[in-house]
């Protein structure tokens, strides 16, 4: 596409308050390759192996993050009020995002307690909450979980709080690896706020 046409199309996609005018989600595509990620270095994700509630094994970066729009939260099945609340709100968010989940948007809930949250346990958990396709509950080794937790910023500067698993379950990161854009919001926020966050990850560009 020549520059002039591209600029015309870009300027015709006006977005106000997160709502697209004169274009639809389907018009949006990922941006062209070969543009640099100014100030957001590559390779910050440990490429550890995680196991999903579906029985699959996944490399964190290669299989779960690369070129995808993702939501990532940490949880454990034994947690008190917040994980059930977060999971319910994320289920609603999944419904609101419709068939994009599993197509270009993927959701990951990673257990902080891999010893207790075995594959059958997280499978039951996913079924209990009625999660749809495109959303994986995942477990890794204890060491890898710790590494991943830190890499994703689920940490607390207070060592006592950092050691408490419940400290790390209240935030969902959302990101688009293809354009290096990441944000976060509370995982137990209203689904509409979570979805508003995810919508900020769409590159504003038309074919």
Partner 1 sequence: MVRHDIESQRERARLNRMEIIDAKLSRREMMKYGLLTAGGALVAKSGLSIRAASAGGAVTSPATTPFIEPMRVLTPHSGSRLQDDLDHCTATVSDDPKEAARAAHQLWKGNEPQVVYNFTQKPRLYRPHPKLAEQNIWTFRDFNKDTESPLTMIHARYGEPSMVYSHNELPANHKGYGNPMVTTHLHNAHNASESDGNPTDYFGPGSYKTFHYPNMYAGGDEREALGFLWFHDHCMDYTSQNVYRGLVGTYLLFDRYDSGNEEDTDSKAIRLPSGKYDVPLVIENKVYDKNGVAYFDLFNLDGIIGDKFLVNGNVQPYFEVDRRRYRFRLLNTGPSRFYQFKFSNGMKFWQVSNDGNLLPFPIERDSVSMSVAERMDIVVDFSGVTDNIVYLVNVLEHKDGTGPTGKILSTGVGDKILQFRLGAKVTDNSRVLTKTTELRRLPDINMSEVKKERNWTFNRRNGAWVVNGELFNRNVVNARCQKNTAEIWNITNASGGWSHPIHMHYEEFQILSRNGVPIKDGDPEKSRKDVIWLHPNETVKIFVRFRDFTGKYPLHCHNVVHEDHAMMARYDVVDDASS
* Pair of tokens at residue 73: 């939260």
**Pairing state of beta strands 171-176 and 181-186?**
antiparallel
Q: Please, which residue, 57 or 116, has the CB nearer to partner 1? A: 116
- Residues 21-50 touching partner 1, rule: CB under 8 A, are 21-22, 31-32, 35-41, 43-48
Report d(CA 118, CA 115) in Å as an integer. 6
Other beta carbons within 10 Å of 191:
17
Q: How many CB atoms lie within 10 A of CB 47?
A: 13
Stretch that binds partner 1, among 5-13, 63-71, 100-108, 121-129 (CB under 8 A): 5-13
Count of residues binding partner 1 (CB under 8 A)? Answer: 80
Q: Does 110 contact partner 1 by CB under 8 A?
A: no
CA distance 79 to 113: 10
Query: Which C-beta is closer to partner 1: that of 133 or that of 183?
Result: 183
96 binds partner 1 (CB under 8 A): no
Residues 168-187 that bind partner 1 (CB under 8 A): 168-171, 173, 175, 178-187
Of 7-15, 90-98, 101-109, 119-127, the segment contacting partner 1 by CB under 8 A is 7-15
Would you count residue 114 as binding partner 1 (CB under 8 A)? no
185 is in an annotated binding site: no
* Pick 99 or 190: Cβ nearer partner 1: 190
Q: What angle do CA 69, 153, 119 make, to 5 degrees?
A: 70
Closest CA to 198 of 96, 111, 46: 96
Residue 79, annotated ligand binder?
yes
21 touches 14 (CB < 8 A): yes
Annotated binding site: 79, 83
Query: Which residue ranges make up the annotated binding site for Cu cation?
Result: 79, 83
């Amino acid at each position: 596409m020549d520059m002039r046409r591209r600029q015309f199309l870009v300027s015709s996609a006006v977005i106000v308050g997160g709502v697209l005018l004169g274009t639809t989600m389907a018009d949006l595509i990922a941006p062209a390759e070969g543009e640099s990620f100014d100030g957001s270095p590559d390779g910050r994700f440990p490429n550890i192996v995680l196991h999903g509630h579906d029985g699959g094994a996944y490399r964190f970066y290669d299989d779960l993050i690369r070129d995808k729009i993702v939501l990532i939260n940490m949880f454990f099945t034994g947690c008190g009020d917040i994980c059930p609340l977060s999971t319910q709100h994320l289920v609603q968010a999944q419904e609101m995002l419709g068939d994009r989940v599993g197509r270009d948007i993927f959701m990951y809930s990673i257990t902080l307690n891999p010893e207790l949250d075995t594959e059958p346990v997280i499978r039951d958990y996913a079924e209990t909450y009625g999660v749809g396709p495109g959303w994986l509950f995942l477990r890794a080794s204890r060491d890898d979980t710790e590494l991943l937790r830190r890499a994703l910023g689920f940490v607390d500067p207070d060592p006592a709080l950092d050691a408490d698993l419940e400290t790390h379950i209240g935030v969902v990161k959302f990101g688009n690896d293809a354009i290096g854009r990441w944000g976060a919001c509370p995982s137990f926020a209203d689904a509409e706020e979570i979805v508003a966050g995810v919508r900020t990850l769409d590159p504003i560009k038309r074919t």
